[in-house]
Amino acid sequence: MIPEYVDFHAHLDLYPDLQEAIRSCDKQKTATLAVTTTPLAFKRNHELASSSKFVRVGVGLHPQLVEERYGEIELFEKLLPQTRYVGEVGLDAGPRFYRSLDLQKQVFERVLRLCASSKDKVLSVHSVRATKAVLDMVEKHLPQDKGTVVLHWFTGSVAEVRRAVALGCYFSVNEQMLSSPNGLKIVTAIPTDRILTETDGPFVLRKEAPIPAGDVRRAISLMANTLAIGELQARHVVRRNLKTLLQD
């Protein structure tokens, strides 16, 4: 079934009711990547989404949890053959998580190597204050013909956008990113054939409440305004990019 919208990074299992969040994505016909923060969370997400027409589940090990969940990398490897999608993974060099950065790099390298061996994975990647390190590791460990990275809520520089594009990366953008001056600068630097939408729900808020699961309509509206195109065209661009990404 052809989707109406794309949400390429959402934490559906962090909403109060996972089943209802999945139903919401299906009702809106939003092709959704439900990322997980630990491999232990994958099984329930995968089981509940198994009958969904629009929700797919990624197996992940969030960099912010690596210090306490490092041992789950073995489970990650075991689960990887069950899905084409990987996320949320990556690096976080922010003040709260900098002390675990070396361990994060070990985990991320292993993730990239495992994905390269599988050859068809699509990864949703976190890169807070670590864009150069993420791109260095992607370039070294995940050749473009072995997998594709989608940079989630990218906060790097315009020069790093260009480098990421050269490495074959896509970008998923949300309404909060599209509402900030720095985010807009980044979005306008992204080629239109590399851009996807995301909610990052429930972390993105509207009027102090979590963004509804699968609701990227405001992101589409803001993206259309930023790119000076109509909303229907913006939706078409994102759907086309998703199709291209998954056919690569």
CA–CA dist 207, 218 (Å, integer): 14
For 54, phi then psi, to 5°, come to: -125, -15
76-134 pLDDT per residue, tens: 999 999 999 999 999 999 999 999 999 999 999 999 999 999 999 999 999 999 999 99
- Are 239 and 216 within 8 A, CB to CB? no
- Give the count of domains, the chain: 1
Ranges of H-type helices in the chain: 18-27, 42-49, 66-69, 73-79, 101-118, 131-141, 158-166, 181-189, 217-227, 231-247
CATH number (domain holding residue 148): 3.20.20.140
CA–CA dist 218, 220 (Å, integer): 5
Q: By residue range, what is the domain housing residue 100? A: 5-247
204-233 pLDDT per residue, tens: 999 899 999 999 999 999 999 999 999 999
Q: Among residues 131, 246, 124, 243, which one has the least CA distance to residue 174? A: 124
